Amino acid sequence: MNRTSTRRKWVRWLLIGLAAAFVVTVIVVAWVPNPVDVEVSEVSRGPLAVTVDEDGRTRVIDRYLVSAPITGNLGRIELDAGDPIKAGQVLARLVPLPPPLLDARSRAEAQARVDAALAARAQAQAAVNRARVALDFAEKEAARARAVVEQGGLALSDAERAISDERRSKEDLRSANFGGRVAEHELELARSAFLRLSGKGDDDEHMEIVSPVDGQVLNILQQSEGVVQAGAPVIEVGDPAALEIVVDVLSQDATRIKPGATAEIVRWGGKHPLRAHVRIVEPSAFTKLSALGVEEQRVNVIIDLDEPRDAWATLGDGYRVEASISVWEDEDVLRIPASAVFRHDEQWATFVVENGEAVVRKAEFGESNGLETEVVSGLEEGETVIAYPSDSVRDGVSVRAR
């Protein structure tokens, strides 16, 4: 009987103990917080590139606005935008109106236009000569740089400046030649107009307006037949095979863009991006309203394509493109996700995972492209950081990698 009573007491105390242990366990579990699930990333080394990405538009580099040299009756223009043309091809025909009697002032003005055209032709020829000399020098420098690169005495990146100068000089010469042809054409028009206004020309004869250059018709400004005044724009011509890209960027971004910088043209309609380079950063900014109605100071950056014409033959004048301009790059930097960086006590910091806990680590960071950030100091390769810290992550909080 005593044994049975004793056994019952032990069972009762055992059950009480188990119940107490269960209650204590529940309380402990309830009070101890669960680890916060986080996404982590390892501090690693690798390439990092910083770019300025903006919309742009294509533009024919050299375009010429053909205007009526004298007042007259313009015949209907049979050409359409996009039609190919040759230098000397007739674009329009103009029947001059009977010339008024020239007084001394009108005669002086007509002669002044001829003199101005002569001066413009001389200036254009001088520009052609300068461009030829510059190209000759640039070609020699580029050839020397390529030879040194082949011998292993110079990195290709260091020779890019000379190669870029050569490309730019070729474009300058082509543009100068275009200007020379246009200046010659303007002189012929000025002389013809002076003769007709002086009564020395045949008033019954049609005056033919011809193209000064090879290219295409870009725009018809006076399609219908009618009387036009001297100087009125008639047709715009140019060479769409010589395209440049105009990209307007924020002025603070423009300070980081240098002539010769590499660029990539994307979302232009083709399957593959187009290689390009910056030719010039314009020195003057302009004010532009953003999509949010905020005034911004922006600067035009002119970009030249490096791909052969066949690669972008479908591009025309005024087409929209997107440009990615390189402003900084390095092939071997310590980096972490840009989202892992935040401000802490007026310094930059990140959460490092140590022994299952999030620890605030102040560090120094350098360049960033919005996706990855360069680590200058404060972190070591192989350490683990929290890529996307939420409001639940604080210093000392237990974390668990997803």
Q: How does DSSP classify residue 398?
A: B
Contact 263, 303 (CB under 8 A): yes
Cα within 13 Å of Cα(338), Cβ side: 10
Element at 121 (helix H, strand E): helix 104-150
List, in sequence order, every beta strand (DSSP E) within 14-167.
36-38, 40-42, 44-60, 63-67, 72-74, 84-85, 90-96
Contact 206, 90 (CB under 8 A): no
User: CA-to-CA distance for 22 and 19, rounded, in angstroms?
Assistant: 5
* Residues constituting the chain: 402
Cα within 13 Å of Cα(335), Cβ side: 21
Q: Which of 324, 329, 302, 154 is nearest to 242 (CA)?
A: 302
Q: How does DSSP classify residue 312?
A: G
Element at 287 (helix H, strand E): strand 274-289
* pLDDT at residue 106, rounded to an integer: 61
End-to-end, the C-alpha distance of the chain in Å comes to 60
**Residues of 194-208 as b/e, b for ≥16 C-beta within 10 angstroms?**
bebbeeebeeeeebe
Residue type, 391: D
Contact 35, 400 (CB under 8 A): yes
User: CA-to-CA distance for 197 and 284, rounded, in angstroms?
Assistant: 42
Q: Which of 306, 90, 300 is nearest to 212 (CA)?
A: 90
What are the Cα distances from residue 15, in Å, to 24, 26, 27, 191, 211? Answer: 14, 16, 18, 120, 108
Partners of residue 89 on adjacent β-strands: none
Q: Are strands 90-96 and 72-74 parallel, antiparallel or unpaired?
A: antiparallel
Give the pTM.
Answer: 0.69
Domains and CATH numbers, the chain: 36-48+332-401 (2.40.420.20), 51-58+241-329 (2.40.30.170), 66-238 (no CATH)
Q: Give 10-residue mean pLDDT values along the chain (402 residues).
A: 64 73 64 79 94 95 82 86 88 76 63 80 84 86 82 68 77 77 75 67 67 86 84 86 93 93 93 92 93 92 91 91 95 94 93 93 94 95 94 89 84
- Helix, strand, coil proportions of the chain in percent (round to 5)? 30, 40, 30
Q: How does DSSP classify residue 271?
A: S
In this structure, the number of other CB atoms found within 10 A of the CB of residue 302 comes to 17
In the numeric block, the tokens 């990140």 are attached to 350
Both structure tokens of 295: 């005034």
Which distant-in-sequence residues (6+ apart) come within 8 Å of 337 by Cβ? 41, 371, 372, 373, 385, 387, 388
* pLDDT at residue 105, rounded to an integer: 63
